[in-house]
């Protein structure tokens, strides 16, 4: 009997070791496939889409809400046991994105998947990262976060860029920051006392904010102080759906000019980090008065963004960027040759299944948009001198 038990134990140990080896090989294969896919996305210039599901919050737990979203490499939205609001039940839906993060994914893990996109700005690329989802789905937590290990994508981006710049003493960097918010279809300067500013196209067709404050930063401490100061000016209010609901879209513009003394090359990289206000349903937010007006403007701008994505996805000759201030400002962001990453934020609660479905469908459309291969904004020495001469001439003529 002892011999049989020993043989079974040995067999189980061998099976366990084989399982661990196969599981390790599977994980490596998934990582390799994801890397190949990401490289292909870079070549195609497709907008990348990550999906992140937040945990159930206390108010949802108190109401005995259940999680209806499962995540692995896919997003599985269960609707079998959820009332869709129309007295009918629908079949489950499965969505596939570039990366999916469950409720236990750390801020560090999420950022690790976008670090390459962030650092590409130092090589002269233009990039954008934005969070999208219903109100209360965790967008602001993902983008801005809290202190320490809970720091969001924006502070982690600033820290990483500073670390990378410190490793290249032969390169001279100049960092400029702007922060604006779009509130009720108007643009306000978060670094300029919340003054209203104009947004218009310059002679080259780029979106500019002529009177917005531009602050230079030479250290991580300065960058974080600027971010904190700008966030303190942002409009936030309480609704029935979210105690700290952002009432505006926040855009953090980071411009990095580099000059390499060894190669005499210069480059201009641009990064836009966006925390969009969340879509709202009046029946849930119970908004009235000013909150209702804000919600209507938020929904209109997000709907316009959907129209732009639809036009880009279907390669329409006319893209309706002018239908809202948000889409007008995002013309440069969604331009050919830019790198764009969207983080679709989801609530797992059954009571939010309609909103989650809407966000997933939007993310699915975004994932099909191709902006073309990314382009470096790098200048050779002779071209750089010519550009300096042109700038000097323009200043003399003013």
Is residue 133 a known part of a binding site?
Answer: yes
Side-chain-side CA neighbours of 377 within 13 Å: the count stands at 20
Is 385 annotated as contributing to ligand binding? no
Q: Is 32 left (phi over 0), alpha (psi -120 to 50) or beta?
A: alpha
**Residue 289 marked as a ligand binder:** no
Contact present, 19 and 344 (Cβ < 8 Å): no
For residues 81 and 78, give the distance between their C-alpha atoms in angstroms, rounded to a whole number. 7
Q: Cα–Cα distance between 252 and 189 in angstroms, integer? A: 11
Q: Is 135 marked as binding a ligand? A: yes
User: What six digits make up the tokens of 289?
Assistant: 């008065």
335: exposed, middle or buried (Cβ count in 10 Å: 0-12, 13-18, 19+):
middle
Residue 167 is assigned to a ligand binding site: no
Provide the 8-state DSSP code for 120: G
Cα(135)–Cα(347) distance, integer angstroms? 9
150 is in an annotated binding site: no
Q: Is 140 annotated as a binding residue?
A: yes
**C-alpha distances in angstroms, 147 versus 152, 242, 371?**
9, 21, 35
Residues sharing a CB contact under 8 Å with residue 242, sequence separation 6 or more, in sequence order: 135, 136, 278, 285
Known binding residue 134? Answer is: yes
Q: What backbone phi and psi angles, to 5 degrees, belong to 260?
A: -95, 115
Question: Strand 69-71's sheet: what is its strand order?
Answer: 69-71, 74-77, 93-96
- Phi-psi sector, 22: left (phi>0), alpha (psi -120 to 50), beta: alpha
Nearest-10 crossing angle of helices 153-166, 220-232: 160
Q: Which residues are annotated as a binding site?
A: 133-140
Q: Which residues are annotated as a binding site for ATP?
A: 133-140
């Amino acid at each position: 009997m002892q011999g049989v038990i020993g043989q079974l134990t040995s067999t189980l140990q061998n099976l366990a070791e084989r399982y661990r080896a196969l599981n390790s090989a599977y994980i490596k294969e998934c990582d390799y496939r994801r890397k190949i896919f990401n490289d292909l996305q870079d070549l195609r210039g497709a907008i990348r889409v990550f999906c992140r599901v937040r945990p159930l919050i206390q108010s949802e737990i108190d109401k005995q809400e259940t999680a209806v979203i499962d995540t692995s490499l896919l997003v599985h939205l269960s609707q079998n046991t959820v009332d869709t609001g129309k007295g009918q039940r629908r079949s489950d839906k499965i969505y596939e994105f570039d990366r999916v993060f469950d409720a236990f994914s750390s801020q560090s893990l999420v950022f690790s998947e976008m670090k390459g996109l962030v650092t590409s700005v130092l090589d002269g690329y233009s990039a954008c990262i934005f969070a999208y989802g219903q109100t209360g789905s965790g967008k602001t937590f993902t983008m801005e976060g809290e202190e320490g290990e809970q720091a969001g994508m924006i502070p982690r981006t600033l820290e990483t860029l500073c670390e990378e710049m410190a490793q290249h003493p032969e390169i001279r960097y100049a960092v400029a920051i702007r922060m604006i918010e779009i509130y009720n279809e108007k643009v306000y300067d978060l670094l300029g006392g919340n003054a209203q500013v104009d947004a218009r196209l310059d002679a080259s067709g780029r979106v500019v904010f002529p009177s917005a404050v531009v602050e230079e930063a030479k250290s991580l401490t300065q960058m974080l102080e600027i971010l904190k100061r700008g966030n303190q000016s942002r409009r936030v209010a309480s609704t029935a759906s979210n105690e700290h609901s952002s009432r505006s879209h926040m855009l953090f513009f980071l411009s990095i000019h580099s000059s390499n003394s060894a190669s005499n090359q210069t480059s201009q990289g641009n990064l836009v980090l966006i925390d969009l206000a969340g879509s709202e349903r009046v029946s849930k937010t119970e908004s009235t008065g000013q909150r209702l007006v804000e919600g209507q403007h938020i929904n209109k701008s997000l709907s316009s963004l959907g129209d732009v994505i639809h036009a880009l996805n279907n390669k329409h000759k006319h893209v309706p960027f002018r239908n809202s201030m948000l889409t007008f400002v995002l013309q440069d962001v969604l331009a050919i040759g830019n790198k764009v990453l969207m983080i679709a934020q989801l609530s797992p609660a059954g009571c939010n299944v309609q909103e989650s479905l809407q966000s997933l469908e939007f993310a699915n459309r975004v994932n099909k948009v191709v902006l073309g291969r990314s382009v470096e904004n790098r200048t050779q020495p002779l071209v750089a001198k010519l550009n300096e001469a042109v700038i000097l001439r323009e200043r003399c003529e003013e």
